[in-house]
């Protein structure tokens, strides 16, 4: 089965022009079919402050009111997405920038939570793979912004890690999918402040132990949960590691491998 890389790039790397340029050059050199899912970085927050739009975060997740939705859509699906596409094209990588509303390829609904109103935040119902397949088979690499829609005309701000996992899961029907979470850290760390403490492999039992001993910091838990969900649903490999080491990461020479064993 043909290989497909689904690679998520974290927000802090997007904020660093030099690191992002290096990452996108390495991404362009991947010969296999590939999809890049990106986060938003700090630009949306900076713009909201300039526009005097109050921002609220709960457990690292943005509360998205109607004004904030306008901002994140402009920044994520507009400036950041198209800037990445332009940089990939400059590296001779044919690319198309999308959000979940394009071709209706990500179906989502507004999050329902009994304890917190997250506003216009989306939870994913499914991914239509035929639209992505047509682009990939035309030799185009896909760049996905973290904006979805509910099928009734409402845009929704949606977690990029989850989008990457759901796309990887859907595309595993057609390809051998390797899901890669790349960000500023060298992998999953035993000590979040020490880059030398990378855990090379995590299986379910070890993951449960790490959580019980509180040795994994909170922001990493949703990422690893998404990784195991992907493995349970047909994705062949999940890797977590440093964006600047993308080539080594996808060749299992660095970072952390999430395993079902």
- Chain centroid to CA 227: 11
101 pLDDT band (50/70/90 cuts)? very high
Tell me the whole-structure pTM to 2 decimals: 0.95
Token readout for 235 is: 């994705």
Question: What domains are there in the chain, each with its CATH number?
Answer: 3-258 (3.40.1160.10)
CA distances from 100 to 72, 144, 176, 249, 253 (A): 14, 8, 22, 27, 32
Measured in residues, the chain has a length of 261
pLDDT at position 60 is 64
Query: Using one digit for the tens of pLDDT, what is the confidence trace for 179-233?
Result: 999 999 999 998 888 889 999 999 999 999 998 888 886 778 888 998 999 999 9
Query: Using one digit for the tens of pLDDT, what is the confidence trace for 6-60?
Result: 999 987 899 999 999 999 999 999 999 999 999 887 899 899 999 999 988 776 6
CA 39 – CA 241 distance, rounded (Å): 16
pLDDT at position 62 is 76
């Amino acid at each position: 089965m043909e290989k497909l890389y689904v690679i998520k790039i974290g927000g802090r790397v997007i904020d660093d022009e030099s690191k992002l340029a290096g990452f996108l050059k390495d991404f362009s050199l991947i010969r296999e079919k590939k999809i890049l899912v990106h986060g938003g970085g700090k630009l949306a927050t900076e713009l909201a402050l300039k526009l005097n739009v109050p921002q609220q975060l709960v457990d690292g997740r943005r509360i998205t009111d109607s004004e904030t939705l306008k901002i994140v859509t402009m920044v994520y699906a507009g400036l950041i997405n198209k800037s990445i596409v332009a940089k990939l094209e400059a590296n001779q990588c044919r690319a198309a920038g999308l959000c979940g509303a394009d071709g209706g390829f990500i179906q989502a609904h507004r999050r329902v939570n009994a304890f917190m109103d997250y506003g216009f935040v989306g939870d994913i119902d499914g991914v239509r793979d035929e639209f992505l397949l047509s682009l990939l088979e035309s030799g185009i690499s896909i760049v996905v912004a973290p904006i979805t829609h509910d099928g009734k005309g409402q845009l929704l701000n949606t977690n990029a890690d989850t989008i990457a996992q759901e796309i990887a899961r859907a595309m595993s029907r057609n390809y051998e999918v390797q899901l890669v979470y790349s960000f500023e850290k060298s992998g999953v760390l035993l000590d979040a402040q020490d880059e030398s403490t990378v855990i090379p492999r995590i299986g379910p039992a070890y993951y449960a132990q790490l959580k019980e001993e509180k040795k994994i910091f909170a922001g990493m838990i949703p990422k690893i949960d998404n990784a195991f969900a992907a493995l349970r649903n047909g994705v062949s490999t999940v890797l977590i590691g440093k964006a600047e080491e993308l080539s080594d990461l996808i060749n299992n020479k660095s970072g952390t491998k999430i395993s079902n064993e």
